[in-house]
Structure 1
Amino acid sequence: MSKLSNNAKAMIFGLGAVLLWSTVATAFSISLQHLSPAQLLVIASAVSLIFLLALVTLQGDFASLREEAKKTWRSSLFFGAINPFLYYLVLLQAYDMLPAQEAQAINYTWAIVLSFMAVPILKQRLKGTDYIAAFACYFGVLYIATRGAISDLEFSNLPGVAFALFSTLIWASYWLFNTKDTRPSLIGITLNFAFALPLILIYAAFTGEFSHWNTQGLWSAVYIGLFEMGLSFVLWNQALKLTDKASRVANLIFLSPLLSIVWLSQIADEPILASTLIGLGCILIGLFIQNSAKSK
């Protein structure tokens, strides 16, 4: 790989991250058949923290991690409470209530939420393309939520859709707050997990989740912690560092939901609904419009 240009390396790292992300909905679907959202989050967060701590140690930054923890423990607790604690708890609840294909498609609208929230928080302006993109995305959400019966407004699972939409609000908020975060990226995300894990354990204990465990979902939960919450972040971060044009790497994200549909149908044996494909198409069109306008 040493003979490749930085941009070529960035694309390889980016594709690796997107490939891992595309398998997550399948892993969620399989694991949640045996574990509750809180149980899954306990295992995945612990595995991710171990992976991130090992990576920080291998890079020789463990001393910096301890110093940063002392200086920024309030920020680390705040960010950790949002992500992974609250975000994944809400997202996994959506996956537990909806077919994985629907939950993951709705979750991709977080970029639209981010644009609108950036107006009051970051004082950014909306463009006409933002409104067009939002209309396309939320028409897609409505189509998925009603399974094509838009005129009847009969939602297949309104609480599940609400959880999926709420997860986009949390994720967008996290990234907006993250613009003020001065911690090094790898150290910051490691501290987030370190401070969030006690919160997750307390929540699981308080809700009685430790009283019954089904080990059948264990390995898929370990997979989620290692790849969705751990390695994918490292690959994506490396891709953004190497490229000279972030939008080129960012466009790779459009592959993830399409690949995810394939894995869900072939591995999780989840029948793919026509309403999901149409709704997902509308969402991807909206995101493409938004992304193209920003890259220009």
Structure 2
Amino acid sequence: MRLRSSWKFGLSVFLLGIGVFGCASRRQEATRVAVPIVDTPVPTVAPSTPTPTPPPTPLPTRPVGREEVKPRKGQAVGPVITHFGAARADGIPVTPVATEKGIPTYLTGAGAGFILVVEAKPGLAGHEVGRRVFAHVPDDPTVRPDLEIISNRPLGNGDPRVCDSRRPDIGGIPAAPSFAETQAITDAINDFACRFETHNDNESACTVNASGDFAFVNPETTQQFCMAVARAWEFPVGDTILTVRVRDVKGNPGPPKKLRIRRPAQPPSPRPGSVPSPTPAGPKPLPTRPE
């Protein structure tokens, strides 16, 4: 009997303790006060002065043509020849030995082994210089390359086949009296022009300047054409007149220009009292083109 009373008393005390602690916990929760959040100021860094960005280098632009300029009789509006001359095999331009009636004369002892150089820039119409060195349709004499060059005498054997510039059927170049639009003259123009190579910028020129760097002969040039004179189309003994003109991309031809290649019957001999130049120990190395 006493044991049962003790058990009941202990249970009552336990339940009373739970109730007290529960009330205390709820009382503490009820008395909590929200603490305001205060932002901690963060130090700021003063903005740096912006560095001005240099303007981009403008890219070269193609010439803009003047459509209002039309060719008229006696006035060619196509490209202007900035240089028409000869250069040594190593690319060094040659000075003419004379100028007769406005035509420069270049002297050659062998008739071959040098370079013919044609340079041009946009003319009155302002269109870009054409670059085609071969444009041939057998039954249409109006189809021509942009480089139109003729000789008043046959070069080499004067073979009339068009562009026979490679072995085994290599041949010469026939003569042409003018730029008249006949099939024979157009064939001769193509036969001559197809042996040239085009050089579109200063760094790829076939000629070199006084410093030995590749460069156009005339700084105003925008397009260069070069041909190595081979034995198969060598110049004959005597005087040969070459005439050249260049078309723009619209087909407008520019004013023509001439030069004279003179090949004496005998190679020129040293003048009396002159001292021959010493023979170099080896060929001068050509400059390398930029990659």
Q: Do they fold alike, i.e. is TM over 0.5?
A: no
Output the TM-score relative to the length of structure 2.
0.27
Query: Where is the helix percentage greater, Structure 1 or Structure 2?
Result: 1
Output the TM-score relative to the length of structure 1.
0.27
Query: Where is the strand percentage greater, Structure 1 or Structure 2?
Result: 2
